[in-house]
Amino acid sequence: MWVGFLVAAHVWMLIGLFVRRYPETSSGYNTMSAERRRLVDIRAGGRFVSRLLFGCGALLAFGALLPERWMLGVFWTAVGLLLCGALWCSWRYDFARSVRRVRRGKRRYLPLLLVGDESEELIDGYLERCDLWVCRKGGAAVAVCAVTDEGNGDFEIRNLAVAEPFRRQGYGSRLMTWIGLHYACKGRRLVLGTGETPSVLAFYRSCGFVPYGREEGYFTRAYDHPIVEEGVVLRDRVLLRKNLKQS
């Protein structure tokens, strides 16, 4: 029996090396849609699975040194660790699982919402009627997105904000992908309005949004003080939209 344990240990370790080199071979990943794949941190998941397989392989190798009556216990312990680890990996590295819709107590996220919109008055105008989506990491809210139903199949993104320490880490784009997936079966397009900040416009274009209009003088009317971003004094609001693939 100890020979079988050593063979299984080497096989599991080799699989661990393979998964580390080709993390996209993880179960289910290749069958996901392109948008769904963007929500999965496949490299981090691959590293975890690789280490788990190495650990279980080492446990089997150690079990080969034990008396035969202990070997089955070691084997089923290793199998249990693999199953639990696979479930935890699926939960931990799937971005969609960290996103939740907030139905009560929306105002507790006001500090983060003010990052995306400086006017508390404007936020109050849509906060209670919007779908508020919050992405958490380690129990803390790192990104929020407020979406309202404007009728005729249009859903408007009223606010998208990412906390300062977590910017440029993909949270914004992955949250936008999640929003697109969620509302694809409910509406025909996403719409939004934003200022002419170069990085913001580039971000939304990278998410598939295209300009379709302009609301002149919006920022000078809506705010009682000048809004300056990246050296640009915002005046007009650029209107963007993205068609949703309904399924």
pLDDT, tens only, 45-56: 778 888 888 888
Final residue in a domain of this structure, among 93, 109, 144: 93
SS3 content of the chain, % helix, strand, coil (to 5): 55, 25, 25
Q: Are residues 185 and 130 in the same domain?
A: yes
Q: Are residues 75 and 135 in the same domain?
A: no
The pLDDT confidence band at residue 214, using thresholds 50, 70 and 90, is very high
DSSP state of 219: H
Residue 187 pLDDT greater than 90, yes or no: no
Q: Are residues 138 and 52 in the same domain?
A: no
Final residue in a domain of this structure, among 57, 76, 93: 93
Total of domains in the chain: 2
Residue 91 pLDDT greater than 70, yes or no: no
The CA–CA distances, whole Å, from 138 to 92, 98, 141, 142, 145 equal 11, 10, 8, 9, 18
Q: Are residues 88 and 119 in the same domain?
A: no
Range of the domain at 62: 2-93
Q: Are residues 67 and 108 in the same domain?
A: no
How many Å apart are CA 153 and CA 189, to the nearest integer?
7
Q: Is the pTM of this model over 0.75?
A: no
Q: At 185, list the tokens.
A: 């079966």
Q: At 239, list the tokens.
A: 């209107």
Average confidence score pLDDT of the chain: 84
Q: Are residues 38 and 112 in the same domain?
A: no
The pLDDT tens digits for 51-75 are 888 888 888 787 777 777 777 787 7
How many Å apart are CA 88 and CA 79, to the nearest integer?
14
Q: What are phi and psi of 228, to 5 degrees?
A: -120, 125
